């Protein structure tokens, strides 16, 4: 396939409730969407970068710049036989994993559509539905948290992940654990602690958690390896795992026993397949993380989670946990605590163009010849 035209949309999607983490509060998901056209088809990719460089150094604006000025020019005039050729084409661009991943996602969607197969099948997925977990942000108080969690448990979520930070950890955990003694439970600190907090973090061991996600700094693999020695609860890394090579380093060092896989952070679906292979060889359990994606990104995550090595519940929740109305249809619903993996060709969801226009705040068109044409 040859890319005949690309359109980037910046959308602002209001969340059903503010999402609070150790980074701060988020009320809107700002997403950069990539539409690639080839042979009468459109492939879609969602860039997971956020408004500010808090979770990752990338933002939706840096991604737009890198995609328009560096990634797309490298694809100009190229015949791409298979999306797995993409990483080598963009290898000259250092970093910018989320920008690259969004374009690679659209190529996989195009390729799967052309082959007439669902993306999950193209990747080697083996499940038709995947267990849904829910990531619960920091709440104003413990009672509010417990009632939120009770709501999600009532809806059928298979695992609850609590966001924690210094000052919001043992007390909320004790309250949730007391109310739900058997609930599969984990915590995510988004890098809010230091190795000097090891004695405090050891207190987490008494709650029977599935894992502690990213307690220390994003670039501190050695610190995580040292902390892992002190805790009984397995560590899981998220922010730290920025490439398949980093995943290998983390496992070699003993910095974690579980990996949170996000295609955007890893630099694309090809990188996900590499990490999947590595984890299979080593018997390391995987699960698919989330970045409050719209239905476009969620459809892709469901395909990723259908791979055989993804054995723990995912941060793939029903659409209504994030948005009242999504730009992709149909919405993802919880069925017996699971999300169905789309079965139609490609991503398997439809982008509602009227809604896209409604939520879009800027748009850029690109053609192989004309270069960048700013319609923002």
Pick from 272, 251, 249: which is nearest to 100 by CA? 272
Binding to ligand OSB by CB under 6 A, coded x per residue (else -) over 314-343, reads: -x-x--------------------------
Nearest 5°: CA angle at 332, between 327 and 333? 140
Q: Exactly one of 244, 290, 309, 342 binds ligand OSB (CB under 6 A); which one?
A: 290
291 is an interface residue for ligand OSB by CB under 6 A:
yes
Q: Exactly one of 45, 289, 313, 348 binds ligand OSB (CB under 6 A); which one?
A: 289
Distance CA 173, CA 163 (A): 10
Backbone φ, ψ for residue 273 (5° rounding): -65, -35
Nearer to ligand OSB among residue 75 and residue 164 (C-beta): 164
User: How remote is the C-alpha of 2 from its chain's centroid?
Assistant: 27
Q: What are 132's two structure tokens?
A: 């849904």
Near ligand OSB by CB under 6 A, which window of 150-158, 286-294, 339-347, 360-368? 286-294
Residues in the chain: 376
Binding to ligand OSB by CB under 6 A, coded x per residue (else -) over 113-152, reads: ----------------------x-----------------
Residues that bind Mg ion (CB under 5 A): 188, 213, 238
Please state, in angstroms and as integers, the Cα–Cα distance from residue 310 to each residue in 139, 177, 246, 286, 304, following that order. 29, 25, 19, 5, 8
Which partner in ligand OSB, Mg ion, none is near 274 (CB below 5 to 8 A by kind)?
A: none
Q: Exactly one of 46, 238, 274, 326 binds ligand OSB (CB under 6 A); which one?
A: 238
263 is an interface residue for ligand OSB by CB under 6 A:
no
Q: How many residues bind ligand OSB (CB under 6 A)?
A: 11
45 is an interface residue for ligand OSB by CB under 6 A:
no
Nearer to ligand OSB among residue 113 and residue 301 (C-beta): 301
Which partner in Mg ion, ligand OSB, none is near 292 (CB below 5 to 8 A by kind)?
A: ligand OSB
**DSSP output for 154-180:** HHT-SEEEEE-BTTBSHHHHHHHHHH-
CB of 152 to ligand OSB, least distance (A): 11
58 is an interface residue for ligand OSB by CB under 6 A:
no
310 is an interface residue for ligand OSB by CB under 6 A:
no
CB of 184 to ligand OSB, least distance (A): 16
* DSSP 3-state of 47: strand
Distance CA 374, CA 328 (A): 25
292 is an interface residue for ligand OSB by CB under 6 A:
yes
Q: Which residues are catalytic?
A: 163, 262
Near ligand OSB by CB under 6 A, which window of 202-210, 225-233, 289-297, 331-339? 289-297
User: How remote is the C-alpha of 211 from its chain's centroid?
Assistant: 18
Q: Where are the beta strands (DSSP E) in the chain?
A: 5-21, 24-38, 41-47, 129-131, 133-136, 159-163, 185-188, 212-213, 235-237, 258-261, 286-288, 328-329, 338-340, 350-351, 360-367, 371-374
CB of 210 to ligand OSB, least distance (A): 14
Distance CA 270, CA 87 (A): 7
Binding site for ligand OSB (CB under 6 A): 55, 135, 188, 190, 238, 289-292, 315, 317
């Amino acid at each position: 396939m040859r890319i005949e035209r690309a359109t980037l949309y910046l959308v602002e999607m209001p969340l059903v409730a503010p999402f609070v983490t150790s980074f701060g509060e988020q009320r809107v998901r700002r997403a950069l969407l990539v539409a690639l056209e080839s042979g009468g088809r459109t492939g879609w990719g969602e860039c997971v970068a956020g408004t500010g460089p808090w979770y990752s150094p990338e933002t939706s604006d840096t991604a737009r710049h890198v995609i328009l000025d560096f990634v797309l020019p490298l694809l100009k005039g190229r015949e791409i036989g298979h999306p797995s050729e993409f990483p080598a084409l963009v290898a000259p661009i250092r970093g910018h994993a989320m920008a690259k991943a969004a374009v690679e996602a659209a190529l996989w969607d195009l390729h799967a559509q052309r082959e007439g197969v669902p993306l999950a099948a193209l990747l080697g997925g083996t499940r038709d539905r995947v267990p849904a977990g829910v990531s619960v942000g920091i709440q104003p108080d413990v009672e509010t948290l417990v009632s939120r969690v009770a709501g999600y448990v009532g809806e059928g979520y298979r695992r609850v992940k609590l966001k924690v930070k210094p000052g919001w950890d043992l007390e909320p955990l004790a309250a949730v654990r007391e109310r739900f003694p058997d609930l599969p439970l984990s915590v995510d600190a988004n890098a809010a602690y230091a190795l000097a907090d090891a004695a405090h973090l050891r207190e987490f061991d008494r709650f029977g958690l599935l894992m502690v996600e990213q307690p220390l700094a994003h670039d501190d693999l050695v610190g995580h390896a040292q902390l892992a020695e002190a805790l009984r609860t397995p560590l899981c890394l998220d922010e730290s795992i920025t490439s398949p090579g980093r995943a290998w380093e983390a496992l070699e060092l003993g910095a974690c026993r579980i990996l949170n896989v996000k295609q955007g952070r890893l630099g694309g679906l090809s990188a996900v397949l590499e990490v999947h292979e590595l984890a299979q060889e080593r018997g390391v359990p995987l699960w698919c993380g989330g970045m409050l994606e719209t239905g476009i990104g969620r459809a892709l995550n469901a395909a990723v989670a259908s791979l055989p090595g993804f054995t723990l519940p995912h941060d793939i929740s029903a659409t209504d946990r994030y948005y009242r109305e999504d730009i992709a249809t149909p919405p993802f619903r919880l069925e017996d605590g699971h999300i169905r993996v789309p079965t139609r060709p490609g991503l398997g969801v439809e982008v509602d163009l009227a809604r896209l226009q409604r939520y879009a705040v800027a748009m850029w068109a690109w053609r192989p010849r004309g270069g960048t044409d700013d319609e923002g």
